[in-house]
Amino acid sequence: MDQNPDLGSRSGIDWESAQALLQTETAAYVTRNPRSFALAQRAGQHLMFGVPLHWMNDWGTPFALQVAQAAGAQLLDADGHCLSDFCLGDTGAMFGHSPTPVARAVARQVAHGITAMLPGEDAAVVGELLCERFGLPYWQFAMTASDANRFVLRWLRAATGRRKLIVFNGCYHGTVDDVFVDLVGGRPTQRASLLGQVHDLTAHTVVLEFNDLAALEEALSQGDVACVLAEPAMTNIGMVLPEPGYWEAAQALIQRHGAALVLDETHTISCGPGGYARAHGLQPDAIVLGKPVGGGVPCAVYGFSAEWAGRAVRARHAAPGGHSGIGTTLSGNLLAMAAMRATLSELMTAPVYAGMLATAGTLADGLREVIARHRMPWCVTPLGARTEFQFRTTPPRNGGEAGTAMDAELEHLIHLALLNRGVMITPFHNMILVCPATRPADVQKLLAAFDQVVGKLVAV
Protein backbone atom coordinates (compact mmCIF):
# COMPACT_ATOMS: atom_id res chain seq x y z
CA MET A 1 0.00 0.00 0.00
CA ASP A 2 1.25 3.50 -0.84
CA GLN A 3 2.04 5.38 2.37
CA ASN A 4 1.71 8.90 0.96
CA PRO A 5 -0.57 10.78 3.40
CA ASP A 6 -1.83 12.99 0.57
CA LEU A 7 -3.42 10.15 -1.36
CA GLY A 8 -6.82 11.77 -0.95
CA SER A 9 -9.78 10.74 1.16
CA ARG A 10 -11.16 8.37 -1.52
CA SER A 11 -7.99 6.36 -1.82
CA GLY A 12 -8.54 2.66 -1.22
CA ILE A 13 -12.27 3.01 -1.84
CA ASP A 14 -14.32 1.60 -4.66
CA TRP A 15 -16.50 4.66 -5.24
CA GLU A 16 -19.03 2.78 -7.36
CA SER A 17 -19.63 0.34 -4.52
CA ALA A 18 -19.82 3.30 -2.16
CA GLN A 19 -22.59 4.90 -4.21
CA ALA A 20 -24.50 1.62 -4.28
CA LEU A 21 -24.04 1.29 -0.52
CA LEU A 22 -25.40 4.80 -0.02
CA GLN A 23 -28.61 3.86 -1.84
CA THR A 24 -29.02 0.64 0.14
CA GLU A 25 -28.35 2.36 3.47
CA THR A 26 -30.68 5.27 2.70
CA ALA A 27 -33.49 2.85 1.86
CA ALA A 28 -32.76 0.81 4.99
CA TYR A 29 -32.87 3.94 7.17
CA VAL A 30 -36.26 4.95 5.73
CA THR A 31 -37.72 1.46 6.24
CA ARG A 32 -36.33 1.12 9.74
CA ASN A 33 -37.51 4.49 11.07
CA PRO A 34 -41.20 5.10 10.19
CA ARG A 35 -42.02 6.72 13.52
CA SER A 36 -39.05 9.10 13.25
CA PHE A 37 -40.24 9.95 9.75
CA ALA A 38 -43.77 10.75 10.98
CA LEU A 39 -42.44 12.92 13.82
CA ALA A 40 -40.07 14.71 11.45
CA GLN A 41 -42.99 15.42 9.10
CA ARG A 42 -45.05 16.77 11.99
CA ALA A 43 -42.21 18.98 13.25
CA GLY A 44 -41.76 20.25 9.70
CA GLN A 45 -45.15 21.96 9.92
CA HIS A 46 -43.91 24.59 12.35
CA LEU A 47 -40.18 24.29 12.81
CA MET A 48 -37.98 25.98 10.25
CA PHE A 49 -36.00 23.23 8.51
CA GLY A 50 -38.17 20.72 10.42
CA VAL A 51 -35.77 20.61 13.39
CA PRO A 52 -35.07 22.78 16.47
CA LEU A 53 -31.71 23.88 15.00
CA HIS A 54 -31.10 23.98 11.25
CA TRP A 55 -27.84 21.99 11.53
CA MET A 56 -29.64 19.04 13.10
CA ASN A 57 -30.22 18.18 9.43
CA ASP A 58 -26.48 17.84 8.85
CA TRP A 59 -26.37 14.24 10.08
CA GLY A 60 -26.62 13.04 6.51
CA THR A 61 -29.74 10.99 7.25
CA PRO A 62 -32.81 11.30 4.99
CA PHE A 63 -34.66 12.87 7.96
CA ALA A 64 -33.69 13.50 11.56
CA LEU A 65 -33.68 10.52 13.87
CA GLN A 66 -36.03 11.28 16.78
CA VAL A 67 -35.02 10.47 20.34
CA ALA A 68 -37.39 8.71 22.73
CA GLN A 69 -34.97 8.64 25.65
CA ALA A 70 -31.32 8.32 26.55
CA ALA A 71 -29.53 6.81 29.54
CA GLY A 72 -25.84 6.13 30.13
CA ALA A 73 -24.28 5.17 26.79
CA GLN A 74 -27.57 4.12 25.20
CA LEU A 75 -30.03 6.09 23.14
CA LEU A 76 -33.50 4.78 22.37
CA ASP A 77 -34.96 6.19 19.16
CA ALA A 78 -38.64 6.75 18.40
CA ASP A 79 -38.87 3.41 16.57
CA GLY A 80 -37.55 1.48 19.54
CA HIS A 81 -33.98 0.87 18.36
CA CYS A 82 -31.41 0.95 21.11
CA LEU A 83 -28.28 2.65 19.79
CA SER A 84 -24.83 2.55 21.35
CA ASP A 85 -24.12 6.26 21.52
CA PHE A 86 -20.54 7.33 20.78
CA CYS A 87 -21.61 10.85 19.80
CA LEU A 88 -22.81 11.67 23.31
CA GLY A 89 -24.25 15.02 22.29
CA ASP A 90 -20.85 15.91 20.81
CA THR A 91 -19.39 15.88 24.35
CA GLY A 92 -22.32 17.40 26.29
CA ALA A 93 -23.06 13.89 27.57
CA MET A 94 -19.42 12.80 27.98
CA PHE A 95 -20.25 11.50 31.47
CA GLY A 96 -23.20 9.55 30.03
CA HIS A 97 -26.82 10.54 29.47
CA SER A 98 -28.51 11.69 32.68
CA PRO A 99 -25.71 10.50 34.98
CA THR A 100 -27.14 9.59 38.38
CA PRO A 101 -25.34 12.24 40.52
CA VAL A 102 -26.50 15.01 38.18
CA ALA A 103 -30.05 13.64 37.80
CA ARG A 104 -30.30 13.54 41.60
CA ALA A 105 -28.89 17.04 42.12
CA VAL A 106 -31.10 18.52 39.41
CA ALA A 107 -34.23 16.85 40.78
CA ARG A 108 -33.40 18.19 44.24
CA GLN A 109 -32.65 21.72 43.04
CA VAL A 110 -35.52 22.01 40.60
CA ALA A 111 -37.95 21.89 43.49
CA HIS A 112 -36.08 24.65 45.33
CA GLY A 113 -35.54 27.34 42.74
CA ILE A 114 -34.17 27.31 39.23
CA THR A 115 -32.97 30.82 38.58
CA ALA A 116 -32.81 33.94 40.75
CA MET A 117 -30.00 36.14 39.41
CA LEU A 118 -28.32 35.54 42.76
CA PRO A 119 -25.93 32.84 44.00
CA GLY A 120 -26.42 30.17 46.66
CA GLU A 121 -23.99 27.92 48.51
CA ASP A 122 -23.28 25.85 45.38
CA ALA A 123 -21.55 28.85 43.74
CA ALA A 124 -18.83 28.98 46.40
CA VAL A 125 -18.35 25.21 46.30
CA VAL A 126 -18.14 25.14 42.50
CA GLY A 127 -15.52 27.92 42.59
CA GLU A 128 -13.45 25.88 45.05
CA LEU A 129 -13.78 22.72 42.95
CA LEU A 130 -12.82 24.52 39.71
CA CYS A 131 -9.75 26.06 41.36
CA GLU A 132 -8.69 22.71 42.76
CA ARG A 133 -9.32 20.88 39.45
CA PHE A 134 -7.75 23.37 36.99
CA GLY A 135 -5.30 25.35 39.14
CA LEU A 136 -6.74 28.75 38.16
CA PRO A 137 -8.00 30.83 41.09
CA TYR A 138 -10.80 33.03 39.63
CA TRP A 139 -13.91 31.94 37.72
CA GLN A 140 -17.04 33.23 35.99
CA PHE A 141 -19.97 31.46 34.34
CA ALA A 142 -21.91 31.38 31.08
CA MET A 143 -24.66 29.25 29.53
CA THR A 144 -22.61 27.85 26.67
CA ALA A 145 -18.97 27.44 25.69
CA SER A 146 -19.64 29.83 22.80
CA ASP A 147 -20.63 32.53 25.27
CA ALA A 148 -17.75 31.72 27.61
CA ASN A 149 -15.28 32.19 24.74
CA ARG A 150 -16.99 35.43 23.72
CA PHE A 151 -16.77 36.76 27.27
CA VAL A 152 -13.12 35.80 27.72
CA LEU A 153 -12.25 37.68 24.54
CA ARG A 154 -14.06 40.76 25.86
CA TRP A 155 -12.27 40.61 29.19
CA LEU A 156 -8.85 40.16 27.65
CA ARG A 157 -9.30 42.88 25.04
CA ALA A 158 -10.43 45.19 27.84
CA ALA A 159 -7.58 44.11 30.12
CA THR A 160 -4.86 44.63 27.48
CA GLY A 161 -6.33 47.51 25.50
CA ARG A 162 -5.37 45.43 22.43
CA ARG A 163 -7.79 44.45 19.68
CA LYS A 164 -6.26 41.45 17.97
CA LEU A 165 -6.86 37.79 18.52
CA ILE A 166 -4.83 34.85 17.21
CA VAL A 167 -6.61 31.61 16.30
CA PHE A 168 -5.56 28.50 14.39
CA ASN A 169 -6.66 27.53 10.92
CA GLY A 170 -9.61 25.13 11.07
CA CYS A 171 -10.48 25.95 14.67
CA TYR A 172 -13.98 26.00 16.11
CA HIS A 173 -14.86 27.68 19.39
CA GLY A 174 -18.64 27.80 19.02
CA THR A 175 -20.55 30.66 17.43
CA VAL A 176 -17.90 33.23 18.27
CA ASP A 177 -17.84 35.38 15.17
CA ASP A 178 -14.23 36.47 15.64
CA VAL A 179 -12.83 33.00 15.01
CA PHE A 180 -14.44 32.33 11.62
CA VAL A 181 -11.39 33.30 9.60
CA ASP A 182 -9.63 30.59 7.58
CA LEU A 183 -6.37 30.42 5.70
CA VAL A 184 -7.32 29.99 2.06
CA GLY A 185 -4.32 29.73 -0.23
CA GLY A 186 -2.31 31.24 2.64
CA ARG A 187 -4.60 34.29 2.95
CA PRO A 188 -6.88 35.07 5.91
CA THR A 189 -10.42 34.71 4.59
CA GLN A 190 -13.72 35.25 6.33
CA ARG A 191 -15.82 32.09 6.22
CA ALA A 192 -18.32 32.46 3.38
CA SER A 193 -20.97 30.31 5.08
CA LEU A 194 -21.53 32.81 7.94
CA LEU A 195 -25.03 34.25 7.78
CA GLY A 196 -25.74 37.93 8.32
CA GLN A 197 -22.19 38.80 9.36
CA VAL A 198 -21.58 42.41 8.33
CA HIS A 199 -18.21 43.07 10.01
CA ASP A 200 -14.82 42.45 8.47
CA LEU A 201 -13.56 39.73 10.80
CA THR A 202 -10.10 39.73 9.24
CA ALA A 203 -9.51 43.21 10.69
CA HIS A 204 -9.01 41.90 14.22
CA THR A 205 -8.40 38.18 13.82
CA VAL A 206 -5.05 36.73 12.87
CA VAL A 207 -5.22 33.12 11.68
CA LEU A 208 -2.18 30.84 11.69
CA GLU A 209 -1.44 27.19 11.16
CA PHE A 210 -1.14 25.13 14.35
CA ASN A 211 2.33 23.84 15.29
CA ASP A 212 4.05 26.73 13.45
CA LEU A 213 6.11 28.60 16.05
CA ALA A 214 7.76 30.94 13.53
CA ALA A 215 4.38 32.18 12.29
CA LEU A 216 3.21 32.63 15.88
CA GLU A 217 6.27 34.68 16.80
CA GLU A 218 5.91 36.85 13.73
CA ALA A 219 2.22 37.57 14.49
CA LEU A 220 2.86 38.30 18.17
CA SER A 221 5.77 40.61 17.43
CA GLN A 222 3.38 43.24 16.08
CA GLY A 223 2.54 43.96 19.75
CA ASP A 224 -1.21 44.28 19.18
CA VAL A 225 -2.43 40.81 20.17
CA ALA A 226 -4.65 40.51 23.27
CA CYS A 227 -4.72 36.73 23.34
CA VAL A 228 -4.27 33.43 21.59
CA LEU A 229 -7.46 31.35 21.73
CA ALA A 230 -6.84 27.66 21.07
CA GLU A 231 -7.85 24.14 21.82
CA PRO A 232 -4.72 22.54 23.30
CA ALA A 233 -5.20 19.83 20.67
CA MET A 234 -7.42 20.70 17.72
CA THR A 235 -10.54 18.51 17.66
CA ASN A 236 -12.94 20.21 15.30
CA ILE A 237 -11.25 19.68 11.94
CA GLY A 238 -10.48 16.12 12.83
CA MET A 239 -7.79 15.71 15.42
CA VAL A 240 -4.51 17.64 15.30
CA LEU A 241 -2.14 17.03 18.20
CA PRO A 242 0.49 19.54 19.30
CA GLU A 243 4.06 18.52 18.52
CA PRO A 244 6.25 17.76 21.54
CA GLY A 245 7.31 21.01 23.21
CA TYR A 246 5.00 23.14 21.05
CA TRP A 247 2.89 24.58 23.83
CA GLU A 248 5.80 25.27 26.16
CA ALA A 249 7.55 27.25 23.40
CA ALA A 250 4.32 28.90 22.25
CA GLN A 251 3.42 30.02 25.74
CA ALA A 252 6.88 31.51 26.30
CA LEU A 253 6.40 33.56 23.11
CA ILE A 254 2.89 34.61 24.10
CA GLN A 255 4.09 35.76 27.52
CA ARG A 256 7.09 37.59 26.10
CA HIS A 257 4.80 39.61 23.84
CA GLY A 258 2.34 40.54 26.61
CA ALA A 259 -0.60 38.48 25.34
CA ALA A 260 -2.64 35.82 27.18
CA LEU A 261 -2.99 32.14 26.35
CA VAL A 262 -6.61 30.94 26.52
CA LEU A 263 -7.12 27.19 26.27
CA ASP A 264 -10.60 26.10 25.27
CA GLU A 265 -10.89 22.70 26.97
CA THR A 266 -14.50 22.09 25.94
CA HIS A 267 -13.55 18.97 23.96
CA THR A 268 -10.08 18.23 25.34
CA ILE A 269 -11.58 17.74 28.79
CA SER A 270 -11.69 14.17 27.42
CA CYS A 271 -8.03 13.93 28.56
CA GLY A 272 -8.55 13.98 32.30
CA PRO A 273 -10.31 15.70 35.22
CA GLY A 274 -8.12 18.81 34.76
CA GLY A 275 -8.28 18.75 30.97
CA TYR A 276 -5.37 18.56 28.55
CA ALA A 277 -3.51 21.38 30.35
CA ARG A 278 -3.33 19.60 33.70
CA ALA A 279 -2.57 16.24 32.06
CA HIS A 280 0.40 17.82 30.25
CA GLY A 281 1.63 20.28 32.86
CA LEU A 282 0.56 23.45 31.02
CA GLN A 283 -0.42 26.59 32.92
CA PRO A 284 -2.57 28.72 30.63
CA ASP A 285 -3.64 32.25 31.59
CA ALA A 286 -7.29 31.36 31.07
CA ILE A 287 -9.38 28.24 30.53
CA VAL A 288 -12.80 27.81 28.95
CA LEU A 289 -14.96 24.75 29.52
CA GLY A 290 -18.55 24.13 28.46
CA LYS A 291 -20.64 21.15 27.39
CA PRO A 292 -20.07 18.34 29.95
CA VAL A 293 -19.23 20.57 32.94
CA GLY A 294 -22.87 20.39 34.09
CA GLY A 295 -23.29 16.73 33.12
CA GLY A 296 -25.42 17.85 30.15
CA VAL A 297 -27.27 20.70 31.87
CA PRO A 298 -26.51 23.85 29.85
CA CYS A 299 -23.69 25.80 31.47
CA ALA A 300 -20.08 26.81 30.94
CA VAL A 301 -17.20 28.24 32.95
CA TYR A 302 -14.11 30.31 32.37
CA GLY A 303 -11.23 30.92 34.72
CA PHE A 304 -8.27 33.30 34.92
CA SER A 305 -4.89 33.29 36.62
CA ALA A 306 -4.55 35.79 39.49
CA GLU A 307 -2.65 38.20 37.26
CA TRP A 308 -5.18 38.21 34.41
CA ALA A 309 -8.18 38.25 36.75
CA GLY A 310 -6.63 41.30 38.44
CA ARG A 311 -6.22 43.06 35.10
CA ALA A 312 -9.79 42.19 34.08
CA VAL A 313 -11.19 43.50 37.37
CA ARG A 314 -9.21 46.74 37.02
CA ALA A 315 -10.57 47.17 33.48
CA ARG A 316 -14.11 46.80 34.83
CA HIS A 317 -13.52 49.38 37.54
CA ALA A 318 -11.93 51.79 35.11
CA ALA A 319 -14.85 51.58 32.66
CA PRO A 320 -17.95 53.77 32.95
CA GLY A 321 -20.90 52.09 34.74
CA GLY A 322 -23.53 50.29 32.66
CA HIS A 323 -23.65 47.21 30.48
CA SER A 324 -20.33 45.42 30.11
CA GLY A 325 -21.46 43.23 27.21
CA ILE A 326 -20.56 40.22 29.35
CA GLY A 327 -23.01 37.79 30.95
CA THR A 328 -26.60 36.75 30.31
CA THR A 329 -29.59 36.56 32.67
CA LEU A 330 -29.66 32.78 33.07
CA SER A 331 -25.88 32.33 33.40
CA GLY A 332 -24.76 30.82 36.70
CA ASN A 333 -28.35 29.98 37.66
CA LEU A 334 -29.13 27.84 40.71
CA LEU A 335 -29.90 24.72 38.67
CA ALA A 336 -26.70 24.95 36.64
CA MET A 337 -24.65 25.44 39.81
CA ALA A 338 -26.19 22.34 41.40
CA ALA A 339 -25.45 20.35 38.23
CA MET A 340 -21.83 21.56 38.11
CA ARG A 341 -21.28 20.78 41.78
CA ALA A 342 -22.47 17.22 41.21
CA THR A 343 -20.44 16.82 38.02
CA LEU A 344 -17.22 18.24 39.43
CA SER A 345 -17.38 16.34 42.69
CA GLU A 346 -18.73 12.96 41.51
CA LEU A 347 -18.00 12.58 37.78
CA MET A 348 -14.94 14.61 36.84
CA THR A 349 -12.76 12.45 39.03
CA ALA A 350 -9.61 10.39 38.45
CA PRO A 351 -11.31 6.97 38.93
CA VAL A 352 -14.09 7.83 36.46
CA TYR A 353 -11.52 8.94 33.88
CA ALA A 354 -9.41 5.82 34.43
CA GLY A 355 -12.35 3.70 33.25
CA MET A 356 -13.14 5.91 30.26
CA LEU A 357 -9.52 6.04 29.11
CA ALA A 358 -9.18 2.26 29.26
CA THR A 359 -12.34 1.82 27.17
CA ALA A 360 -11.12 4.41 24.65
CA GLY A 361 -7.78 2.60 24.40
CA THR A 362 -9.51 -0.68 23.48
CA LEU A 363 -11.62 1.18 20.93
CA ALA A 364 -8.62 2.90 19.29
CA ASP A 365 -6.73 -0.42 19.06
CA GLY A 366 -9.78 -2.09 17.53
CA LEU A 367 -10.23 0.66 14.92
CA ARG A 368 -6.56 0.40 13.95
CA GLU A 369 -6.90 -3.36 13.59
CA VAL A 370 -9.93 -3.06 11.28
CA ILE A 371 -8.26 -0.35 9.18
CA ALA A 372 -5.03 -2.36 8.86
CA ARG A 373 -6.90 -5.58 7.96
CA HIS A 374 -8.75 -3.80 5.14
CA ARG A 375 -5.51 -2.03 4.12
CA MET A 376 -7.17 1.37 4.19
CA PRO A 377 -4.81 4.41 4.11
CA TRP A 378 -6.39 5.89 7.24
CA CYS A 379 -5.02 6.77 10.67
CA VAL A 380 -6.46 6.77 14.20
CA THR A 381 -5.68 9.45 16.79
CA PRO A 382 -6.82 9.05 20.40
CA LEU A 383 -7.15 11.95 22.84
CA GLY A 384 -8.21 10.59 26.21
CA ALA A 385 -11.81 9.42 25.99
CA ARG A 386 -12.03 10.70 22.40
CA THR A 387 -10.80 8.95 19.26
CA GLU A 388 -10.84 10.01 15.63
CA PHE A 389 -10.18 8.13 12.43
CA GLN A 390 -9.00 10.28 9.55
CA PHE A 391 -8.75 9.65 5.83
CA ARG A 392 -4.94 9.91 5.58
CA THR A 393 -2.11 7.60 6.54
CA THR A 394 -0.41 9.85 9.12
CA PRO A 395 -1.88 12.23 11.68
CA PRO A 396 -2.13 15.78 10.31
CA ARG A 397 0.23 18.49 11.61
CA ASN A 398 -2.16 21.38 11.24
CA GLY A 399 -5.69 22.41 10.27
CA GLY A 400 -4.79 22.80 6.61
CA GLU A 401 -3.65 19.19 6.37
CA ALA A 402 -6.55 17.94 8.48
CA GLY A 403 -9.11 19.83 6.38
CA THR A 404 -7.79 18.21 3.20
CA ALA A 405 -8.41 14.78 4.70
CA MET A 406 -12.08 15.51 5.41
CA ASP A 407 -14.78 14.23 3.09
CA ALA A 408 -18.36 15.06 4.09
CA GLU A 409 -19.90 12.64 1.56
CA LEU A 410 -17.83 9.70 2.70
CA GLU A 411 -18.30 10.58 6.39
CA HIS A 412 -22.07 10.76 5.99
CA LEU A 413 -22.16 7.41 4.26
CA ILE A 414 -20.15 5.74 7.03
CA HIS A 415 -22.19 7.40 9.78
CA LEU A 416 -25.49 6.41 8.15
CA ALA A 417 -24.36 2.82 7.71
CA LEU A 418 -23.27 2.71 11.36
CA LEU A 419 -26.62 4.14 12.50
CA ASN A 420 -28.41 1.38 10.60
CA ARG A 421 -26.28 -1.10 12.57
CA GLY A 422 -27.23 0.43 15.92
CA VAL A 423 -24.18 2.64 16.44
CA MET A 424 -24.08 6.43 16.56
CA ILE A 425 -20.95 8.55 16.13
CA THR A 426 -20.69 12.31 15.86
CA PRO A 427 -22.20 13.65 12.63
CA PHE A 428 -19.31 16.02 11.90
CA HIS A 429 -15.99 14.38 10.96
CA ASN A 430 -15.22 11.01 12.58
CA MET A 431 -15.12 11.68 16.30
CA ILE A 432 -15.93 8.81 18.61
CA LEU A 433 -16.34 9.40 22.34
CA VAL A 434 -16.82 6.98 25.21
CA CYS A 435 -18.47 7.68 28.55
CA PRO A 436 -18.21 5.90 31.93
CA ALA A 437 -21.22 3.74 31.00
CA THR A 438 -19.80 2.55 27.66
CA ARG A 439 -19.56 -1.26 27.98
CA PRO A 440 -17.19 -3.63 26.20
CA ALA A 441 -20.27 -4.86 24.31
CA ASP A 442 -20.84 -1.34 22.93
CA VAL A 443 -17.23 -1.16 21.74
CA GLN A 444 -17.49 -4.60 20.11
CA LYS A 445 -20.75 -3.56 18.42
CA LEU A 446 -19.07 -0.47 16.99
CA LEU A 447 -16.03 -2.40 15.81
CA ALA A 448 -18.14 -5.12 14.17
CA ALA A 449 -20.27 -2.49 12.39
CA PHE A 450 -17.19 -0.51 11.31
CA ASP A 451 -15.60 -3.70 10.01
CA GLN A 452 -18.69 -4.49 7.94
CA VAL A 453 -18.99 -0.99 6.51
CA VAL A 454 -15.30 -0.59 5.65
CA GLY A 455 -15.42 -4.06 4.08
CA LYS A 456 -18.14 -2.83 1.71
CA LEU A 457 -16.15 0.26 0.72
CA VAL A 458 -12.80 -1.26 0.08
CA ALA A 459 -11.45 -1.42 -3.47
CA VAL A 460 -10.30 -4.90 -4.46
Ligand X SMILES: Cc1ncc(COP(=O)(O)O)c(C=O)c1O
Binding site for ligand X (CB under 6 A): 90, 144-146, 149, 172-174, 231, 236, 264, 266-267, 290-291
Q: Which is nearer to ligand X, 9 or 268 (CB)?
A: 268
Burial 272-307 (b: 16+ CB within 10 A, else e): bbbbbbbbbebebbbbbbbbbbbbbbbbbbbbbbee
435 vs 457, beta carbon nearer ligand X: 435
Nearer to ligand X, 89 or 101 (CB): 89
Count other Cβ atoms within 10 Å, centred on residue 451: 17
422: left (phi over 0), alpha (psi -120 to 50) or beta: left
Minimum CB distance to ligand X, residue 253 (Å)? 22
Q: How far is CA 140 from the centre of its chain?
A: 20
Query: Helices 306-318 and 145-160 meet at what angle, rounded to 10?
Result: 70
Q: Which is nearer to ligand X, 144 or 430 (CB)?
A: 144
Kindly provide the b/e burial profile for residues 354-366, where b requires at least 16 CB atoms within 10 angstroms of the residue's own CB: eebbebbeebbeb
Shortest distance in whole angstroms from residue 173 CB to ligand X: 4
Closest CA to 29 of 55, 66, 54, 75: 66
Looking at beta carbons only, is 165 or 443 nearer to ligand X?
A: 165
CB-CB contact of 417 with 21 (8 Å): yes
Give min distance, CB of 215 to ligand X, in A: 21
Q: With beta carbons less than 8 A apart as the criterion, state whether 326 and 155 touch.
A: yes
Residue number of the CB closest to ligand X reads: 174
Q: How far is the CB of 291 from ligand X (least distance, A)?
A: 5
Please tell me the total number of residues recorded for the chain in this structure: 460
- Residue placing its CB nearer to ligand X in the complex, 64 or 234: 234
CB of 231 to ligand X, least distance (A): 5
Of 218, 220, 271, the C-alpha closest to 241 is 271
Q: Smallest distance, Å, CB 233 to ligand X?
A: 10
